[in-house]
Amino acid sequence: MQLNFCPVCGEKPVLRQHPTDGPVAWCPRCGDWRYPLFAIAVSVAVLDPGRTRMLLIRQYGEKDAVFTAGYVDKGETAEDAVVREVREELGMTARELTFCRSRWYAPSETLMLHYSVTVPEDEPSPNWEVDGWEWVPIGEARSRVAPGGLAEQLLDDYLETR
């Protein structure tokens, strides 16, 4: 991704050959290299303590189920973001965090870090972002997510690491 403006001074960068990294944006005003910026987010497979059921949610009027997810805040670790998102979106306590895999999500230029957690609570108390939720036996989860979408890829990542 080419930067349109230098995030430090606002000047339009030019593409120059970096000695080791290949073509990279160069800010003529700052006299420095400007690497692409992108977002980092976490997605979370929320599981019951026995790891037999998965909590899938629906958000923003969508019909297909997705995982709890959110962006990592500046200064926050990915693991802290997992705990915060599960608490904020579901009102639940994340335990036993396990990293599954990272994936690049091109539509929003976001690096997704996928985790699984267990929660001791059986009933979420979701916030305004969650339209609906259901506990699904792990073997049935694939039938609830959109085929070919990011949620299906993240589900596969979880299933490969468990």
Provide the residue ranges of all domains of the chain, joining segments of one domain with +: 1-36, 39-161
CATH number corresponding to 1-36: 2.20.70
- Domain 39-161 superfamily per CATH: Nucleoside Triphosphate Pyrophosphohydrolase (3.90.79.10)
Closest CA to 94 of 78, 108, 82: 82
Q: What is the pTM of this model?
A: 0.80
What percent of the chain clears pLDDT 90, i.e. is strictly above it? Answer: 57
Give the torsion through C-alpha atoms of 36, 86, 143, 107, to 10 deg. Answer: -20
Please count the CA atoms within 13 angstroms of the CA of 79 that sit on its side-chain side.
Answer: 5
Q: pLDDT tens digit string along 55-93?
A: 999 988 888 889 999 999 989 999 999 999 999 999 999
